[in-house]
Amino acid sequence: MVNLRYIWRPFLKYGQMIKLEENTTIYYQGEVGKGFYYLDKGSVKITLLTEKGAERTVNYVPEGMLLGENGINKEPYLTTAVTTAPSILYYFTNEAMLKIYEEEPKAVILFTNSLLYKFRLLAEIITFLNLPVEQQMAHYLLKLVKENEEFPFNQTSFARYVGTSRITVNKIIQKWSKEKWIELSNQNIYIKNINKLKEIRDQNSKNIGDLDMLMLPLM
């Protein structure tokens, strides 16, 4: 899979730089889109409001990635994006996008690749939705740590990400720590036995291709 990290960096001159504090909403689910964003520095979580009214965290955006792409052409945003740390983003309006396409034709392919990646992420979410919690935790932990190097671990936030209770997350984390598969240090989590977590993750996960393809390598 093409590495999508930082591919939009050459086009930042077309966007508007925005500095946001922690816990700032960038856009809301259902809001009519006026453009999309690029995360230059910081951290952003993506949440989804289910039909039952429950909020679930479905992704954490790594630096160097686009977000809110479906907001182009005044389409409604499918999710909500909130900063989890002071962040620097670049905002691209519909007009800016048209100018990029006109002056930088290759941007069309790069933007399309980003959209395709988001569709694969949706397939990932659907695949893991009804699987055992431990299996979901193994997958999302592998993904978060690989994409973010050091992942500030908060059990309550991670529980929302997996869609379970904090008590359940704590029980599994304690089990993994005891087995020395992971290590918690200074509020960060480190994987010590990646093969074991992959073994847990890959149980009955045949409905989606190579799960490691959904993880973006650090640069």
Higher pLDDT, 174 or 217: 174
Identify the pLDDT of residue 208. Answer: 47
Tell me which of 112, 128, 144 is where a domain ends: 128
**Residues 88, 56 within the same domain:** yes
Question: Is residue 219 in some structural domain?
Answer: no
- The per-residue pLDDT for range 75-86, each reduced to its tens digit, is 899 899 999 999
39-43, 57-61, 106-110, 156-160: lowest mean pLDDT where? 156-160
Tell me which of 84, 107, 128 is where a domain ends: 128
Identify the pLDDT of residue 50. Answer: 74
Question: Is residue 4 in some structural domain?
Answer: no
**Residues 95, 153 within the same domain:** no
pLDDT at residue 210 is higher than 70: no
Mean pLDDT (the chain) is 85
**Residues 136, 35 within the same domain:** no
By C-alpha distance, which of 136, 148, 132 is closest to 190? 148
Domain hosting 166: range is 131-214
Percent of the chain topping pLDDT 90: 49
- The per-residue pLDDT for range 180-207, each reduced to its tens digit, is 999 888 777 888 999 999 999 888 655 5
Question: Is residue 109 in some structural domain?
Answer: yes
**Residues 90, 20 within the same domain:** yes
**Residues 33, 78 within the same domain:** yes
**Residues 143, 207 within the same domain:** yes
Total of domains in the chain: 2
Question: Is residue 156 in some structural domain?
Answer: yes
**Residues 137, 124 within the same domain:** no
Tell me which of 104, 128, 152 is where a domain ends: 128
Instruction: Residue 159: give its domain's CATH number.
Output: 1.10.10.10
Identify the pLDDT of residue 123. Answer: 77
Do residues 4 and 216 touch, judged by C-beta distance below 8 A?
Answer: yes
Q: Which residues is 56 bridged to in the sheet?
A: 48
In terms of Cβ atoms closer than 10 Å to its own Cβ (0-12, 13-18, 19+), residue 27 is buried
